[in-house]
Structure 1
Amino acid sequence: MSTKEYIKNFIKDPNIASVTPTSKQGVKEVCSKMSFENRVVIIEYGPATGVFTDYLLNQISHDSVIITIELNENFVHYLKNNVQDGRVHIHHASAERVQDIMDEFGEQADYILSGIPFTLMNNEVRRNIVKQTHSVLKPGGKFLPYQTFFQRDRHLKDHLHEHFSSVQDRYVFRNIPPMRVYEAIK
């Protein structure tokens, strides 16, 4: 998808978190908290054009799985036409449906990545997504949401502390816009 098309989607859809896709450095920073030595099940909320998906496909084993959950219909269409790998399962849905999707899948996740804009959600939706995220992770699994750097604790970090045993965050300035990356461990 061209930058121009991506920006058009950003303007039309208030659920898109950033005017540009995450940079390669940003992707590596977020994924540095993951291990790819064994089979993994990864859920990705808001994959957009698949910059994380593409990176992950080059890291994971042949028997690993990536489950994407994307709300924007244009991005779902783009992913279905451009990601031709049997390890990727693309769902056109809200992250609020993660429990239903994983019930159908029959496994729990090792990692969940999220670029969805928690800042733009109401408190009930935030709390629900974080709660369901916790429930579909394996013990020791990680939730790795990344947000624009101006994220306030009440938008996400406070909710993470309600459900996860360990929560850390850091800033990544080598991305436009800079990101705040969280690591919440079940």
Structure 2
Amino acid sequence: MSRKKFISEVFKSTGTIGALSPSSSFLAKKMLAPIDFDNAKCIVEFGPGTGVFTKALLKKMSPDAKLLTFEINTAFIDELKTIEDHRLEIINDSAEKIKQYIEAAGFTSVDYIVSSLPFAVIPDEIVHRILTNSDDNLSENGRFIQFQYSLNAKKKLESYFSEVKINFTPFNLPPAFVYNCKK
């Protein structure tokens, strides 16, 4: 997707897209660093956008793993559909509904959730349901990995997860914080 088309989607999105440009490869590397790809069988991605993290995840995932992506923007869904990989399932629905989709895919829990959701612009009650359902559906050693452009999400994430570590990448536009959250 061109940068011009991406920016057009940002302005049409009514607050569901929190970035002004696609994520960088530097941010993707930091987001994927905590993932044990040898043992991950079910990975969920919230807000894949144009698929920067999606493609990076698929490159590293084992052949028998599954990636469920939740995206509500139809232009981004069309972009994601150009990725040809049998392990990828594109879901046009809210991340709140994680449980029904992981069960439909034959899983009882998720090993990792990689999230690009812009919590600062999503209503608090929806963020609460997303984080509650994420925590409820993570495996015992599962991780919720989220990026944001500020440290404002730290206290919120600490109220849902037992451990929250923060990493930073200046090589993204804008620079980003990566939250690595343990169940």
Report Cα offsets for 1:146-171 as digits up to 9, x if no partner.
Answer: 111x241xxx3223222211111122
The aligned counterpart of 1:185 is 182
The aligned counterpart of 1:167 is 164
Q: Distance in 2 between matches of 1:39 and 1:157?
A: 26
Q: How is 1:110-129 mapped onto 2 (pairs within 5 angstroms)?
A: 110-129=111-130
Instruction: Tell me whether 1:84 sits opposite 2:81 in the alignment.
Output: no
Q: Distance in 2 between matches of 1:52 and 1:123?
A: 25
The aligned counterpart of 1:176 is 173
CA contact (8 A) 2:118 2:148 kept: yes
CA contact (8 A) 1:130 1:159 kept: no
CA contact (8 A) 2:40 2:111 kept: no
Tell me the TM-score normalized by structure 2. Answer: 0.94
- Displacement after TM superposition at 1:54 (Å): 0.7
Question: SS at the partner of 1:44?
Answer: strand
- Displacement after TM superposition at 1:38 (Å): 2.8
Question: SS at the partner of 2:100?
Answer: helix
Question: SS at the partner of 2:16?
Answer: coil
The aligned counterpart of 1:36 is 37
Q: Distance in 2 between matches of 1:38 and 1:135?
A: 20
Question: SS at the partner of 1:53?
Answer: helix
- Displacement after TM superposition at 1:39 (Å): 4.3
- Displacement after TM superposition at 1:104 (Å): 1.8
The aligned counterpart of 1:97 is 97
Question: SS at the partner of 2:159?
Answer: helix
Letter in 2 for 1:48: G
Structure 1 vs Structure 2 CA RMSD: 1.2
- Displacement after TM superposition at 1:140 (Å): 0.8
Question: SS at the partner of 1:43?
Answer: strand
Q: Distance in 2 between matches of 1:162 and 1:38?
A: 27
The aligned counterpart of 1:142 is 143
Q: Distance in 2 between matches of 1:10 and 1:102?
A: 28
CA contact (8 A) 1:119 1:151 kept: no
- Displacement after TM superposition at 1:30 (Å): 1.0
Taking a change above 3 Å as real, the CA distance of residues 39 and 114 of structure 1, as seen in their structure-2 partners, is: closer
Letter in 2 for 1:83: I
Unaligned runs of 5+ in 2: none
- Displacement after TM superposition at 1:45 (Å): 0.3
